[in-house]
Amino acid sequence: QVRLVESGGGVVQAGGSLKLSCAPSGRIFSRNGMSWFRQAPGKDRQFVAGIRWGGDSTRYADSVQGRFTISRDNTKDTVDLHMNNLKAEDTGVYYCASNLVFDVRTAPVAKAYAYWGQGTTVTVVS
């Protein structure tokens, strides 16, 4: 059993930056995947970025490539999402998710993840 707790959401001006953190509890292995998804009001949940817990493989959605960076903080045992140059369309509830094996081909598939956090809200205002 893995429990995921997100933090770091808030309100930010367009063009600004924000960092989200996901803290997993339970047994995590280097092959496990940790990803961020987001859901805007009235829209489906969409993949944002994912990383192998071992830190050696990542994948990004095209919409955030070059603006967002996913990384593992080894000192805090968290997976962080560094979001820069935020846009209004980045607004939504951001969820952390975990699966048994990270695969860049299936990382964007929500059904591949067994564990989900409660979500943290990001609001980008202009």
Could you give the angle at the alpha carbon of 47 between the alpha carbons of 38 and 119, nearest 5°? 30
- Structural contact between residues 13 and 124, judged by C-beta atoms closer than 8 angstroms: yes
Task: Give the integer Cα–Cα distance in Å for 80 and 96.
Answer: 10
Q: What is the pLDDT of residue 54?
A: 87
- Asked whether the predicted pLDDT for residue 56 surpasses 90, the reply is no
Exposure string over 53-86, b if 16+ CB within 10 A, otherwise e:
beeeebbbbeebeeebbbebeeeeebbbbebeeb
For residue 78, give the H/E element and its range.
Answer: strand 78-83
Tell me the average pLDDT across 36-49: 96
At residue 29, the pLDDT reads 87
pLDDT for residue 30: 87
Q: Answer yes or no: is pLDDT of 88 > 90.
A: yes
Task: Average the pLDDT over 41-60 and give the result.
Answer: 94
Q: Considering only 16-20, 26-30, 45-49, 63-67, which range has the smallest mean pLDDT?
A: 26-30
Phi, psi angle pair for 52, to nearest 5°: -75, 140
Residue 13 has pLDDT above 90, yes or no: yes
Does the pLDDT of residue 62 top 90, yes or no? yes
